[in-house]
Amino acid sequence: MATSQGIRVGIVGCGYWGSKHVRVMQSLAQVGEVVLIDGRSDRTASLLRGMPGARTFEDLPSALPEVDAVVLATPPTTHAPLALAAIAAGKHVLVEKPMATTSADGRRLVEAATEAGVTLMVGHTFEHNAAVAKLRQLILQGDLGDLYNIDTARLNLGLYQSDVNVIFDLAPHDISIIINLLGSAPASVEAWAACHAHRRLEDMAYLRLSYPELNLTANIHVSWLDPCKVRRVTVVGSRKMAVYDDLAVDERIRVFDRGVTPPVDDQDLTQPPMAYRYGDITVPYLDFEEPLLVQDKHFIDCILTGGRPSTNGLNGLAVVEVLEALQISLRERRPVALDELRPEGSRPGPDPEESVSLIGSAL
C-alpha cells in the first residue's frame, strides 16, 4: 500500500497518451512518486528531461515491487496480460480504453480484481468530461423531450494503430459516452467497415447500436481516413436538439430549440408535411476541468478510500462486449445481440449505484 510519502504510481507505456498520465499524476498531491515503465528508452528519456531523477524500468515485472498502482497506456492487445500481472501482484490498476480486446479477458480482469481486492478502473476519459455530464443532465431532466437518435462522429487523418482497427481504437469513446448517456448497454449492434489505406486493419467504420426498449438507435462514424478532425455527439429529441463538439472549447455544448411537428391530418396533401420550429441556441455553462486530471484523481481517491470507481471494471467490460459484438457483426455481416456473448444471467453495464437507466423511465 501507499507509503506516508504518497502512492507510487507506475505509468506503463510512456508514449503519446502515457506521457499525459505522467504529467497529470505528477500534479496530484496524494501521488508520492511517478515511475516510468517502457521498453523504448527514447520514450522514457524524453520524459526524464522534465523530471530528473525519476526512476525508470524497461518492463512491468521489474517495476512491480516498486509501485502501489499502475496505469496501463500500452497498445490494447497488451492490456489484459499486463493488468492480470499487476492485479496478481496486488497492485491497483487503471487500464486505458479498451480495457481488453475480448470479453473473456474483460471478465477475467473483473474477477481477478474482485478476488484480489484491488481497484480496477478503465480510462473512459469522456465519462469524466463535464460536457458529457451536462448532456446526460439535459437528457435526464427531459429538456430534449423524447429521444429520437444519437449520432457521433470521431474522424481525423490518423493516428493509425498497429494492433487494433479503428473500431477498437476510436469507438470505445463513443460507446462509453452512449452507455453513460442512456444508462445502459445496447441490446444489439451492427457494423460496416472497410480497409482502405491499411491492408489489414479497418480504417473507417459506421456502427449502429440499437436500444429497442427506448425505441432509439445510436449511430457512430469513426475514421482514420478523413481530412477534417471531428469530435461530435448529436442528440436529437422531440423538444430540443443538443450538439456536443469537443473541439469547440468555448461552447462545447449547444442546445438548439428546434424541431418539427407533423400536421394533425397527415393525409391532407394540401397541408405542409411538417411545421418547423426555430428557437434560441443556448450554450450551457460548463465547470470544465481537464477530464484526464479528473479521471486520474478519481483513481487515486478510490485507492485511498476503497471507493468504487465510476468507470470500473464492469463499465470497461460493457464497452468491450459491444466492441466484440461489432467485430462479429463485421465478420458475419449480420446484427449481433449482446446476449449472444454473455454467460447465462450476466449483463454488465454502468454501475447501478452510479447510473440512472432511461429504460423503464418516463422518457
Cell of 316: 470497461
Report, in Å, the least distance between residue 257 CB and ligand NAD: 32
Q: Which amino acid is at 286?
A: L
Residue with Cβ nearer ligand NAD (177 or 236): 177
Which is nearest to 214 in space by CA: 178, 241, 169, 247?
178
Cell of 302: 478510490
Instruction: Restricting to residues 102-161, name those near ligand NAD by CB under 6 A.
Output: 123, 125
Residue with Cβ nearer ligand NAD (236 or 319): 319
Which residue is it, cell 487515486?
300
In the bound complex, which residue of the shown chain has the CB atom lying closest to ligand NAD? 15
Interacting residue with ligand NAD among 9, 11, 37, 336 (CB under 6 A)? 37
Residue with Cβ nearer ligand NAD (13 or 237): 13
Please tell me whether residue 161 adopts helix, strand or coil conformation.
Answer: coil
Question: Site map for ligand NAD, 56-95, x if CB under 6 A?
Answer: ---xx------------xxxx-x-----------------
Which is nearest to 177 in space by CA: 212, 222, 144?
222
Where do the H-state alpha helices sit in 141-290?
A: 166-182
Rounded to whole angstroms, how far apart are CA atoms 25 and 47? 13
Rounded to whole angstroms, how far apart are CA atoms 195 and 199? 6
Return the bridge partners of 85, or none: none
Contact in structure between 109 and 80 (CB atoms under 8 Å)? yes
Decide: is 335 part of the binding site for ligand NAD (CB under 6 A).
Answer: no
Q: How many residues bind ligand NAD (CB under 6 A)?
A: 24
Report, in Å, the least distance between residue 255 CB and ligand NAD: 25
Residue with Cβ nearer ligand NAD (60 or 182): 60
Task: Count H helices and E strands in the chain, helices first.
Answer: 9, 15
Decide: is 246 part of the binding site for ligand NAD (CB under 6 A).
Answer: no
Piece of 37-45, 86-94, 111-119, 304-312 that binds ligand NAD (CB under 6 A): 37-45
Q: Which amino acid is at 279?
A: G
Which residue is it, cell 506521457?
19
Q: What are phi and psi of 64, to 5 degrees?
A: -55, -45
Report, in Å, the least distance between residue 250 CB and ligand NAD: 21
Residue with Cβ nearer ligand NAD (169 or 321): 169
Q: Find how far residue 146's CA is from the centre of its chain.
A: 25
Residue with Cβ nearer ligand NAD (88 or 283): 88
Q: What are phi and psi of 329, to 5 degrees?
A: -60, -40
Please tell me whether residue 308 adopts helix, strand or coil conformation.
Answer: coil
Q: Which amino acid is at 231?
A: R
Residue with Cβ nearer ligand NAD (96 or 190): 96
Residue with Cβ nearer ligand NAD (93 or 241): 93
Binding residues for ligand NAD (CB under 6 A): 12-18, 37-40, 43, 59-60, 73-76, 78, 96-97, 123, 125, 169
